[in-house]
Structure 1
């Protein structure tokens, strides 16, 4: 028998053994393919892990780059080793702790990534096997087979060497992240212990480990740093290794090992891993679909059960967000909370099938708050990464509370939720005081305004249920701040700068006003007040047209490159989270048939059973939980509500086994690819007319029966009484926005106001002491530098007041630009360089004008010949964003605008390698009479060859000439 044939048989043995042992029927395990998502931009890993386990033992085939975030990409053919921690589907890389690599032959401490000899190896894609809790790879360079399995806290390796006389293992603690401190020490002839403290996305990570071999170490050689060691073993065929990890200390790793795997029976641990996964996946069982659909579904369910990860030793100790050690055996502590992604449908799914674990997640949040001072946004290894936006631990807590999960300290939870909403950072203070976040104050201002408003609604809902009605009123008011970024003229959510709508406006443009999206994808984000949003658009018919528009728009985007905007149907981007609820909004206008059409299209076209079967990053379960929920036939548009919105089930049958011992079944016997339309529902045998179901309908057990057909129903879910509701009854007035009116102007500027609160007066004043103001009836002129105050008023009800500043440019002064700036770096338009506004250190806030790959050539006309002493212009550098200082800036003067002479030149002395944000003025002394001043700033053109953006266009960002 050929070796490759033997290896493939080994890779299949687990399925055969488990099948004969349990004499089972078809199992969900048969349909899980961990390779789904490892290609394309899915960023998943294929290795061995337990449900929500601490260890993710997987091959490392890619060390850098966006598509290397999980350490593995299906297109790779070289492996560097097998490490014990990996992230599932994230957009930033981290982890890869404690790498082991078996090899034969000469010892090279180099990993070989630089092309020099190293311990890396080619591997066989043909024989690669991945199953829940098991992974197999054949290393081709040295003909070694590698098998991996795991318990919750221990990775178990089994190596089979072809060269029985030469068996070595490399241990590399320097793999991937920057090592802050490490230790690798031999305890006895079988055992190594140590730690690895590292820095990457999470600034301070602590991993302690205990490595035990089943055979004595014959020799051990360190590299100079003692972060790598090559171990040699006596002749033999197989070699087994157990690696236990802990975030606490070496003793914790030792206890974890002793508690979880005391034996050397690899197949026993492998089988236990399979059983653990089978028990998990059996919580939801489906039938009646195609083989492909079942593979996609069960793999998606599997992906929802990888993270969050166990972060708690067997003795109850864990590391808190104060980075100190704590002990608590009353619950289980976790890490890896990708909350901007997972609050949408992953955590709502857990409120159905993981209620006990949900309580533990919330208890973990509360420890983050108690020990670290705030609830997590994107927590990783007890570190606040500061990644993404919103305070989305809040809706996870509120959603659980509303759905009856209350076995945590609810008063402490509410305190922590309020604390999250009262921060003076990330624009939250402006959101509170101004009613929206100005784009010149905080980047991603529209997205943050919208998401803070939703988060505040969940606080209001929980406050209301806890009897805290006064606080509920405050947060229902704040939850309507979304109105202040809604432009009634276009129906889009737009940024405000100086209280004027961001312009020029193109909804398909990707700019810094939105988070990983454009205005199309965020203009539908009002899950807490859908009915008011529909009214603001003009009613059901207008809302239907608006919904149709996103799915039928041209898919082309403009502005910044944004890798996350993928899986496009029109401008609907399923590959990223802000779009996920949009197809279900049709139910709110009585057109559930369109929800059914688009949900089926997304499931059929944007999920596949191949490695590139995800249309975007998996994001710790969110891409998959959307599929799981939608395939069952319903989706949580508004977490924090008890409602799930009806879609179109993928299967003829599905059963959910609940923790309370009850079973909820979904039956759609007439279901088929053509029969995708719901004509009638029955709940427990009774006619059910609503296009939504309640959480308790599921939790109480029973049967939801779908009657499907090949054409839309004209009655199901059409009547307003049968539609889902999402409405804030307490009405808040929107702040009027400036439609026209230049912040800096020559002569005068015309002020035009608009407001979505049509039944209220718009008022304005030029002094904060003028409390009555003037009722706005028509546009008016401003001819001098001044402040303007505007608000809405209806009887005694008054909106917040917005202040705008206007600057008059000296008479007849203007500027002519000979090169084009990028629209998303407009700085406020053509006059940005002479408008008296100086850009801030965050280039994303809109006061900077950006030139990509071209020079800045600008001529200022002073209006008359004047005495000029000196002239200068400011620039910003942020090499991490491919923005560099100009190579040089030259100044030229002229009296007639035609004949220019040189006035001076400044050569840049700041290295393009300098880290962080740098602001610098370039200027020269002129000391002469002139009317025209020309500035030429030389762009690099392309990024330097040793920069991460090598070959790409570089930027220069000038401001205030």
Structure 2
């Protein structure tokens, strides 16, 4: 095995940097393409994204719709026709959508239902930016454009000469309404179509105001035409018509609300008013430049800039705002947990199983004021439902495992991001979540807590699926709560929780040196295959989940027989072939395929449990391997193309991995104040913090050939550490990397050079 590993690294050539480098020449938003990840389908994900036209963390997104109504793959790059321009709140095709309706410009009064109105289009006549989307709809001879605000949008249609130019408003099925108002310019209505996580009184109210009078209209409930100016039924649609000259532009100003029709109108007046299309577009681009510009990079290639800023765009979409601003200027929200309209913030559309890993740490470092609102919203979620969410869209959804809200909440409290008035409530919420499970959504709270709290693990043979994954994540989550308890002076809680955080040891099998499901009587599951996906684990196998001891890699290394053996086991992940056992699922899930085609052995970067694994080399004195593999993953598995991801993008997590890694460090253990160092991608980077300080990262010798760190200084002082501390970054820091083509195997090899591990906390 040792010889095989050496083959990976002997391929590096000595020599000077020859990679072409370009200075940034465009605004950050101009480097973003929202089409990254859209060349996906059910069987193979290259992101499973759609081109979201939105503001950062905006309440409403808009997207061209190539799929049929209700299809989770709303837009796929290989499609040839568009059925509508859709308001969407979809966080993932697997979770699907809610609060959705579409608008479609047409030519012809027989082009109403989604099949009749669809139009061929070409990517050659499509522009997809965060702040702007444009497409030529060939069958209607119409150019359609969109520009967003937080809760509204402006759509502009350039029509041909026709007395049958029209716009179809499709409020979708499962209960909806559309009304053409007497002013002959306004259409209002509501949509209820959702995929779960909503109370019975859920509505998304919308208002559409045209700048040209409506000359005629037709209304439908499904295929049945309805007389009059209003339709309310199972599937409401309206088609409104104009006479247009060639090149005439008709503008539609659109807003929606989860509170009321009146609030939807307020959102429209507040966020758009009389502003024209170009003004709204310019404002949206300015907002994206502000958010993306918090991180400046230079000394890279054009493709690296496009990939970096496209990833940063994806990192700042979710979770989305689910609050609105009332007549007095105060935040107010419809609660997706109890159906009431209540004061305060609310955010939604994120799965913590994914995003606790580095998306939320990115917010805490670069966008803490946003996460302060998110944390206030989490406190409201607990008050309104009795639980913190684990997967919210818009309310509690049954998806994935773990209790990783504890990580998201603890990291924000420990870094001083959480509003002071919400800290006590959120601490109470974390403790409460340890000892109960939601009555209807088993992934919220802790399924199997009774076993975990008595045996120290969730048994394999008691009918609780993915039990080993739950145990490992619960143990880390307990560590997170313990750190908060210590900060708050809750010493008894801290002691109890830190003991529980050692429960990961209960699943370690010394025979295989891997994590393994364990029966209630203490015996390990048998038969056992480390290549079996699912079963005791979640969307992965034992090779992936064994490393889910974020808070104590050194403790895990001790179980494996020491750091040398730990390093060999890590090497093995990349060396063993992409063998898999899919018998738990009964078919090959797309995550398995994505591991196979990556050609990195059994390393599965396309799914989140493995994404921190590379950085664990830092904990056993082999940081040069982390430097090799981080560059390898960035170079091979990410791009700005439509197939630019190696698996599900998942609400910013996979993108945030690239953002952190390109900067040269990564938060292996949220809840600690340390980041493991990797290999920076750019020659220069600057992180402009909200407190006015700047983190400067300088790597003047950086290039494709020089991926190894030979020397590192922080504020001018040479350091052998393989980690950075949150405090030194927060105060503004100057970090310099001396990059070279061959590894320095002595640097970072001393015990004190490694990042945090609970097992040696007292030795720091």
Does residue 1:323 correspond to 2:327, yes or no? Answer: no
Quickly say closer, same or farther: Cα 1:25–1:570, change in 2 above 3 A.
closer
What is the Cα deviation at residue 187 of structure 1? Answer: 4.9
Can you list the C-alpha shifts for 1:370-394, whole angstroms capped at 9, x where unaligned?
A: 011110111112x111211112221
What is the Cα deviation at residue 711 of structure 1? Answer: 0.6
CA distance in structure 2 between the aligned counterparts of 1:320 and 1:679, rounded to whole angstroms: 53
CA distance in structure 1 between the aligned counterparts of 2:154 and 2:452, rounded to whole angstroms: 50
Can you list the C-alpha shifts for 1:755-810, whole angstroms capped at 9, x where unaligned?
A: xxxxxxxxxxxxxxxxxxxxxxxxxxxxxxxxxxxxxxxxxxxxxxxxxxxxxxxx
**Contact map agreement 1:184 1:195 (CA 8 A) in 2:** no
What is the Cα deviation at residue 556 of structure 1? Answer: 2.5
**Contact map agreement 1:83 1:96 (CA 8 A) in 2:** no
Question: Who is 1:779 aligned against?
Answer: none
Question: Who is 1:224 aligned against?
Answer: 221
Structure whose alpha-carbon radius of gyration is higher:
1
Question: Who is 1:411 aligned against?
Answer: 424
CA distance in structure 1 between the aligned counterparts of 2:111 and 2:26, rounded to whole angstroms: 47
- Name the structure with the higher strand share: 1
CA distance in structure 1 between the aligned counterparts of 2:425 and 2:551, rounded to whole angstroms: 24
1:582 pairs with 590, 601, 613, which one?
A: 613
Output the TM-score relative to the length of structure 1: 0.70
Can you list the C-alpha shifts for 1:483-525, whole angstroms capped at 9, x where unaligned?
A: 1111111011111234332222111112322111111111111
Question: Who is 2:184 aligned against?
Answer: 189
**Contact map agreement 1:576 1:617 (CA 8 A) in 2:** yes
Structure 1: unaligned runs, 5 residues or longer: 1-23, 113-117, 732-961
1:868-947 mapped onto 2 (5 Å cutoff): none
1:194-593 mapped onto 2 (5 Å cutoff): 194-204=189-199, 205-225=202-222, 226=231, 227-236=236-245, 237-315=248-326, 316-328=331-343, 332-381=345-394, 383-408=395-420, 409-424=422-437, 426-441=447-462, 442-498=464-520, 499-559=522-582, 560=585, 561-565=588-592, 566-567=594-595, 568=598, 569-593=600-624
CA distance in structure 1 between the aligned counterparts of 2:298 and 2:237, rounded to whole angstroms: 50
**Contact map agreement 1:337 1:376 (CA 8 A) in 2:** no
CA distance in structure 2 between the aligned counterparts of 1:224 and 1:131, rounded to whole angstroms: 35
Question: Who is 2:165 aligned against?
Answer: 167
Output the TM-score relative to the length of structure 2: 0.88
CA distance in structure 2 between the aligned counterparts of 1:596 and 1:295, rounded to whole angstroms: 22
What is the Cα deviation at residue 465 of structure 1? Answer: 1.2
Question: Who is 2:227 aligned against?
Answer: none
1:465-864 mapped onto 2 (5 Å cutoff): 465-498=487-520, 499-559=522-582, 560=585, 561-565=588-592, 566-567=594-595, 568=598, 569-728=600-759
Can you list the C-alpha shifts for 1:793-835, whole angstroms capped at 9, x where unaligned?
A: xxxxxxxxxxxxxxxxxxxxxxxxxxxxxxxxxxxxxxxxxxx
**Contact map agreement 2:91 2:393 (CA 8 A) in 1:** no
Can you list the C-alpha shifts for 1:94-120, whole angstroms capped at 9, x where unaligned?
A: 2371211111113244311xxxxx111
**Contact map agreement 1:321 1:371 (CA 8 A) in 2:** no
Quickly say closer, same or farther: Cα 1:187–1:530, change in 2 above 3 A.
farther
Higher relative contact order (CA 8 A, sep 6+): 2
Question: Who is 2:133 aligned against?
Answer: 135
Question: Who is 1:146 aligned against?
Answer: 144
1:356 match: secondary structure? helix
Q: More deviation in 71-80 or 182-191?
A: 182-191
CA distance in structure 1 between the aligned counterparts of 2:250 and 2:96, rounded to whole angstroms: 31
Between Structure 1 and Structure 2, how many residues are aligned? 695
Q: CA RMSD, aligned part only? A: 1.8
CA distance in structure 2 between the aligned counterparts of 1:549 and 1:415, rounded to whole angstroms: 42
